[in-house]
Structure 1
Amino acid sequence: MIRNMELKLEDYGFSKYFYFPVPEGMELDAELVADKAETDLLTNNKMRISGLLPFGVVKKDGAAALRYDMISQVNLEQLFASTLTKAQLVDNLLMMMEGLEDLKKHGLNPEKILLNKKYIFLDDFSNRLVFLYVPVKVNVFEKVSMNEFLKTLIAETSYDEADDLLFFIKLHNYLVKNADLHLPDFKEKLKEFAAVGAGPGADSSKAVPQAHFYSPSHGNVVSEAAAALEEGTTVLGAVNIQEEEGTTALGVGPQSFARPFLFEAATGEKIFLRKDVFKLGRDPEQVDFVAKNKVVGRVHAEILTVDGEYFFVDKQSRNGSYLNGVRLVQNSKTKLKHEDKIKLANEEFVFRFF
């Protein structure tokens, strides 16, 4: 499939079109652009092939160009920009698989699809995802496999913190283990993974714990056993989870899930929060992270882990603590988020999950 190509957008108010000027020497597929019946099929595919953007061949600036009707303002990049639930992810992936199956039914080659989330659109008419098809005789564009595309897409997606961790891990692992993706098999596996633990008939003894944070790094296989913790166990912060031989946890060593950390701006050091009450200050006898800066208090602050969430508490420090530029009230818990900026007096840190 095609990773990327240069398209020009022209806006005529009510109508918008993508144009691809056909380079000299590039042959278009004669069966598609010369046969009127086939051309009509593609031109009117909004009614007949729901998986494609309508397109045709036109003359532009004296040369041939492919013109695509931009029938929607919403693309896959926008759909995946927000936090997704399991159901939303499954629906979007199934729509992709069904669109590609439609192409095969009509004798079109899925390898000539532009597999780029900026150019996969949600059709307002059919409420299905539609692809941009490039009817070239020889595919000379940079290629990407469906497996590679899906792994990257899933790795870059934010998931609902209260949703099914095991589903995401099973999906990620399936893609890692199956480089040559067979679409019908993947579609069935997707439904199978989604059905586990779903609905009133689900086996509650196999309930999956809620994940407070999960963002897979494609390429590593994640232990499903590590995810199947007792109900109520927090995935972030869990340590010493035994895993199957050869299994790598996301972003960390072979026997633990990653804890969040403070990134020290001055030194670039990562300070991992390995305790539920993690103290910061100058006194090595009382704190877990020892600051060398004299404006930092002996026990300046602490970070608490409570039910999978993280809170910052200033311990009555003389020079104060700041979160994103705002001075915090002493002895008051303030919830931390990924990329929050923390200052102990003038000592700067960034709180990160990964």
Structure 2
Amino acid sequence: MGRTTIEQSENQYVVMNKLTKPEAINERELDAIARGFIDSLIPVQTEIGKKGIVIKSSVEGMMSLKSYFTSLVSKKMFLGVVDQLVAIVKECEKNHMNVSNLMLDEEAIFLDPRTKKIQCIFWPMVNNQNSYSVHEFFKELPFSVVFTKHEDHEYVSRYLGYFREQTPFSINSFEKLVYELLGKKVENKSYLPSGSTSFGERSVSAPKTTGATGTSGNIAYNPLRPASTVQQTKVCSTCGQECVGGRFCSNCGSALTPMPKEKDEKALNQTGAGTQSYSGTTLLGAEDYSGTTVLGGDAFEEPTYPYLIREKTQEKVSVDKPSFRIGKESKFCDYFISNNNAISRSHADILTKDHRYYIIDHNSTNKTYVDGKVIPVEIQVEIFSGSKIKLANEEFVFYV
């Protein structure tokens, strides 16, 4: 691979790759990316000039993974990123794309600040002279972040232990580890046909496996049962759209939640599938569903809220309202600081809007600071997981 450059101006990144001999464009992959067959890959364009071929990609309204990881990193942040990147690698493999052309560089991996959905750049080329290593990227990733001290770091030890003990690297076994670290304990493990097709092919159902030992596809687990072609219907809790299969909403990119069992059964009856069982990964704990089941009982998780850690006392403060007020007067505030006269009665609010978070200072006497900078009065300032907040002389760290 030739020289790769990344230029940033305001809210836009431009990533360029100048090809050198014997590198050349892979037209099949270029066309597939342009058509959006894999929505987690950012579109690229080619420019042919006197000095050779340049592949270029423009990214707007997103932040780099490197910027995202400049704040203190929680377990949810880190494993959420790893989980999405593993899915992108596997999607490339499923579509017979050379994953060494996936630009696994923290400066060139981008995510939406609102949905946290990740997108990557894939260079559609052959004879790559400077390929990327999936194994090395995931192995080195923890060393580029600072983890929050307010969590149990046992998951980091297990993550690093995988690379010390696992030889050779397998994206499937690594995916299994990530699922376990996320708390998705898996049973009934086996390889299933994915049900989807590579780009350039007509849409067809995955072939059914036969016999007790047949395997198919490139999925992390190995069920020894035939797979049904019926996919589970899921509903997006963010935008309310229904989707079939997948882990993320095709409409807004948010993580999907399985629909209640009775709605799934209704969908099955409408397909004429009778009592045919489901395949794939589900979050339902019912015994009459086959396939890979994530243990955990209820189909829907308890809501989780962003929170503050008060540095002086290490107290955890859940921000459990859309408008959460902090000050020293209990009757005016959701969280009050009674032992600090520098705090104003209604000092500041933390606001939650469309999965984004803001802080607003209510003309406090001793000001509000975000990451060391004083914020203007009555102006909403966006904050992120790991942002350091100071109300007068009282310090907090914000986490999502």
Q: Normalising to structure 1: TM-score of the pair?
A: 0.46
Q: Normalising to structure 2: TM-score of the pair?
A: 0.41
Q: From the two aligned structures, give the one with the greater helix fraction.
A: 1
Q: From the two aligned structures, give the one with the greater strand fraction.
A: 2
